[in-house]
Structure 1
Amino acid sequence: MSGRLSGKVALITGAASGIGLATARRFAEEDAMVILADRDAAGLTAALAELQAGRDRHLAITLDVTIEAAWIAAMKDIRTRYGRLDILVNNAGFGRFRSIADTTLDEWRATLAVNLDSVFLGTKHALPLLAESGRGAIVNMSSMRGLVAGPNSGAYSAAKAGVRLFSKATALECAAARNGVRVNSVHPGHVETPLTAPAYANPDIAKEFLAHTPLGRFAQPREIAGVILFLASDEASYMTGSEVTVDGGVTAQ
């Protein structure tokens, strides 16, 4: 343990699996007190048990990131238990890929709610606590699809592009307020997670994706988590409003 996040309290959404869980593990390794948030109660229980390792240090919150009242309650719980919040990782998200013609309005709204509305709500309600810390950091999960579009990704691309510019706008607002909060976005490419594994197991899909990925392989969640850790740490103290692409070279082409 090198203690890069020693003494810091971090909230991670979508923390029951995938990139969120990998990030929680990295943060715990670096001595942070981690608050895992997800609507998967069973997954949260397992993740918390793994992180605690016999120490009552971390916390799990069942949270629907699309509900404002749930965010308000979560911030109240965090203030009561820890009295502070230093890091917010808005990671919760999902993708539903289909043509515009086949996308219903309800599907469009659900995609934006989980991927974009949640980032607004988390930021809005966490900012007071983050500002109190004096060196707060927000890391928002976008995607390479927030930088370059692909077929059948209209709703997802719109949401992730929104995360990108919302992050920049928030960064500038916080800088102008001199509240010490930095805001950056991360843009992963193809990452092997429980959500993507079924698609990547299809040889035709995998072949197509890898053909357009210069590094020739899918990323592992821990590789994305390492970038999130850097942005959340004081090592990135002069970074705000930045977008960090972790896509195996896809958008460099």
Structure 2
Amino acid sequence: MELELDGKTMVVTGGASGIGAAVVDALAREGADVIVLDRNRPDNGKYGAVDLADPASVRAAVSQLPETVSGLVNAAGVSGVASPEIVFKINYLGLRQLSKAVLTRLESNGVIVNVASGAGSLWRLRYRELLEMIGIEDDGDSLRWFAKLGLTGPEAYDFTKEAVIVLGKTMALDRFPGDGIRVVSVSPGAVETPLLPSFHDTMGSDFLSYITGKVGRDGRPEEIANVIAFVLSGRASWINGTDIAVDGGGEGGFHGGVLQHPLYPVFAQAQAQAPEHNVEGVAE
């Protein structure tokens, strides 16, 4: 399928490695002009240095971008191995600052794709809390609000990925339908990238191995990148304000009750709330 991205200018954060690098390669194959924003120089694409934990660095990176761009892929991020504050700054605050700035530069029918995570799939359980946090526009106030939660690094990772999903929903109608600009998140499951060992350390190897065993294998970066490339194209013009799980069916398995694990709390809650049944299946 031709995605008609030839000549489009795409900005990709985290494009020097992992999923981000696969996105750069996929877009380059489609003929797009790719600008990579990363702390490290990529193998492919034009390069601009950025530290998403530093607002001044983000502003400087944005100032070097063309006046108009076709799309932004927020693929940069850190795992829960980092401190909670750094996780929050990079995975949420830096992403938000960059997205808001690039939103004003997007041409008609442009797209922002945020790489979230299956770790954020329980966002509905604290939707109001996330909306409250997203409503705080000042970075300093946001940090203070976040610090009060007292989260660990791994918990901060889950929280920020939930926040990324909900942030996309709040931005999705800012310039749609008028300008046709869409905001979508893509949530990978476990993927074969350099960060995968750290996720086993922070999320629990037993949990991730359980999912991998059920869906057959871990994902490959190019499988995530292909979905992102499609979402960036006009072929996906009616996909907006939603989160797309790309995980071999893991999230669907948990929500459908086919997969169950103590570290995925949906079913512990569901079992606690479900009525007891007698042997004939009638609620007592």
1:159 has 2:160 as partner = yes
After TM superposition, give the deviation of residue 136 of structure 1 in Å: 0.8
1: CA distance between counterparts of 2:3 and 2:111? 17
Equivalent position of 1:31 in the other structure: 31
Q: How many residues align?
A: 222
Q: How many Å separate the matches in 1 of 2:19 and 2:162?
A: 19
Q: Does 1:75 align with 2:47?
A: no
Contact 1:95 1:111 in 2 (8 A): yes
TM-score (norm 2): 0.72
How far apart in 1 are the matches of 2:172 and 2:3? Answer: 26
Shift in Å at residue 20 of structure 1? 0.2
Query: Are residue 185 (structure 1) and residue 185 (structure 2) matched?
Result: yes
What is the correspondence of 1:234-249 to structure 2 with a 5 Å cutoff? 234-249=234-249
Q: Give me the whole-angstrom Cα distance separating, in 1, the residues matched to 2:3 and 2:249.
A: 31
Structure 1 match to 2:228 = 228
Question: Taking structure 1 as the reference length, what is the TM-score of the superposition?
Answer: 0.80
Say if 1:14 and 1:92, in contact at 8 Å, map to a contact too: yes
Equivalent of 2:86 in 110, 119, 123:
110
Q: Quick one: distance in 2 between partners of 1:19 and 1:158?
A: 20
Per-residue deviation, residues 169-217 of structure 1 (Å, max 9, x unmatched): 00022227x232100000111001012257669xx93x65232243220
Which of the residues 23, 46, 50 maps onto 1:63? 50
Q: 2:217 maps to which residue?
A: 217
Choose 5-14 or 192-201, whichever is displaced more.
Answer: 192-201
Contact 1:171 1:184 (C-alpha < 8 Å) held by counterparts: yes
How far has the Cα of 1:73 moved from its partner? 2.3
Offset of residue 96 of structure 1? 1.4
CA distance in structure 1 between the partners assigned to 2:8 and 2:196 by the alignment: 31
The counterpart of 1:96, out of the listed 77, 80, 92, is: 80
**1:148–1:251 contact (8 Å) kept in structure 2:** no
Which of the residues 119, 128, 143 maps onto 2:95? 119
Instruction: Give the distance between the partners of 2:108 and 2:198, measured in 1 at CA.
Output: 43
Call closer, same or farther: CA 1:173–1:190 in 2, change over 3 Å. same
Q: CA deviation at 1:69?
A: 2.5
Aligned residue number for residue 127 of structure 2: none
Runs of 4+ in 1 over 4 A off after TM superposition: 197-201
**CA displacement at 1:10 relative to structure 2:** 0.3
| Distance of 2:69 and 2:39 partners within structure 1 | 21
Separation in structure 1 between the aligned mates of residue 180 and residue 61 of structure 2, nearest angstrom: 22
Q: Is the 8 A contact 2:4 2:30 kept in 1?
A: yes
Please say if residues 84 and 153 of structure 2, whose CA atoms lie closer than 8 Å, have aligned partners that are also in contact: no
What is the Cα-based RMSD across aligned positions, in Å? 2.4
Read off the aligned partner of 1:225 and give its amino acid letter. A
Give 1:62 deviation, angstroms: 1.1
Percent identical among aligned pairs is 34
5+ residue gaps in structure 1? 49-57, 98-105
Residue 112 of structure 2, aligned match among 138, 147, 160: 138
**Which AA in structure 2 matches 1:120?**
R
Cross-structure match for 2:171: 170
Give the greater-gyration-radius structure (CA): 2
- Quote the offset at 1:93 in angstroms: 0.5
Asked whether the 8 Å contact 2:11–2:69 carries over to 1, the reply is: yes
Q: In 2, Cα distance between the equivalents of 1:198 and 1:139?
A: 24
Look up the equivalent residue of 1:110 and give its one-letter code: I
